[in-house]
Amino acid sequence: MTAAAGATMAGGPDVGAGGALAVVCGGGRLPGTVAAAVVASGRDVVLFPIRGWADPAVVAPFRHHWIALATYGRLVRLMRQEGCRDLVFIGGAVRPALSELRLDWGTVRVLPRVARAFRGGDDHLLSGVARIFEDDGFRLRGAHEVAPDILVGEGPLGRRTPSARDTADVAFGLGLLAAQSPFDVGQAVVVAERRVLAVEAAEGTDGMLARVAALRAEGRIRTPAGVGVLVKAPKIGQDHRLDLPTIGPQTVDGVARAGLAGLAVVAGSVLVADPQEVARRAEAAGLFAVGVTPPPEGS
């Protein structure tokens, strides 16, 4: 932590419009990517990395305060101290059990609302937590709003493009993700020749791809290597300020190990960490990575 991050003071400046952007950081590279983009735009940024999730090397270049999970009171106090009204949640996280949380008094105050938020899927949980922040006067922003370059655009990342068979699998996968949206399950599926090989659940995309690779090694998946696609899309009706699907270089590596042809994501609704490296690894592995336009809702 920086020396300034360790400082305390009674009260704090007004948290009105403008001021520094608060970035609450989970794991992975995206928190640093977002912070760098905000700084480049001319706005101050203060990171609030969560212990056990955030990477110290990612947050080190920026002004930051380390926080423990479920210390809502401390987080609010520090954001007000720093003059932050707007905040962004970004980065990987593992959903804890409610019984594992070690609460401060600020969290105890909102505990009944937190408990209600836990009774549902991830989108339900995150939306409930967001409303708590908003009721305390903060304004939640999407990472893509403050750093639009992290969104996957339409078209291929690299030179490779999907075949007609791949395109049919992508459409099938998007239809499945749309159909399961009301159940607040996952944001990714693996489809091969219109057969569902895996649906993302609590293990996340990387875990799902590892499962596909294991099933292939065990002979449970008999489709040839180079057939099948990973498809990622946000849930229909999802608050895009929260938990947009993400891909990165490790996603490409997982697709390669799973023996698939490539990956397709919804353009303008999926975040990408290090797009140049994603394109390079996809090219090296003989895979396609593409942003696609989904069919209209209800079609």
* Distance from the Cα of residue 94 to its chain's centroid: 11
Using the predicted structure, report yes or no on whether residue 295 has a pLDDT greater than 60: yes
Q: Measured on CA atoms in the order 124, 127, 133, 135, is the torsion positive or negative?
A: negative
pLDDT confidence of 7, banded at 50, 70, 90?
very low
- pTM given for the model: 0.81
Position 296 scores a pLDDT of 67
Spatial contact of 165 and 193, defined as CB atoms under 8 Å apart: yes
Look at residue 14 in the predicted model and tell me its pLDDT: 31
Asked if 260 and 190 touch (Cβ cutoff 8 Å), the reply is yes
Within 13 Å and on the Cβ side, how many CA atoms surround 217?
Answer: 8
Distance of CA 49 to the CA centre of its chain: 15
Q: At what angle do helices 204-217 and 249-257 cross, to 10 degrees?
A: 20
Predicted confidence band of residue 10 (pLDDT cuts 50, 70, 90): very low
Looking at residue 1, its pLDDT comes to 35
**Residue 199 and residue 188: Cα distance in Å, rounded?**
6
- Tell me the pLDDT tens digit for each residue of 226-285: 999 999 999 888 888 877 899 999 999 999 999 999 999 999 999 998 999 999 999 999
What are residue 58's phi and psi, to 5 degrees? Answer: -70, -40
Report whether 189 contacts 175 (CB < 8 A).
Answer: no
pLDDT of residue 241: 85
Write out pLDDT tens, residues 183-207.
888 899 999 999 999 999 989 999 9
* pLDDT higher than 90, residue 210: yes
Residue 63: in which H helix or E strand, if any? none
128 backbone dihedrals φ, ψ, rounded to 5°: -65, -40
Largest Cα–Cα distance of the chain, in whole Å? 64
Does pLDDT of 8 surpass 50? no
Contact between residue 23 and residue 51 where contact means Cβ atoms under 8 Å apart: no
What is the average pLDDT across 14-23? Answer: 68
> What's the rounded mean pLDDT across residues 92-106?
65
The CA distance from 253 to 205, in Å, is 12
Catalogue all structural domains in the chain, each as residue range(s) with its CATH number: 4-146 (3.40.50.20), 151-292 (3.40.140.80)
Average pLDDT of the chain? 86
Residue 199 CB-half CA count within 13 A: 17
For residue 193, give the amino acid letter. Answer: E
Paired sense of beta strands 246-247 and 86-90, if any: unpaired
What is the C-alpha separation between 92 and 32, in angstroms, rounded?
12
Return the CA Rg of the chain. 20
Of 189 and 123, which is predicted with more confidence?
Answer: 189
pLDDT at 132: 85
Higher per-residue confidence, 23 vs 132: 23
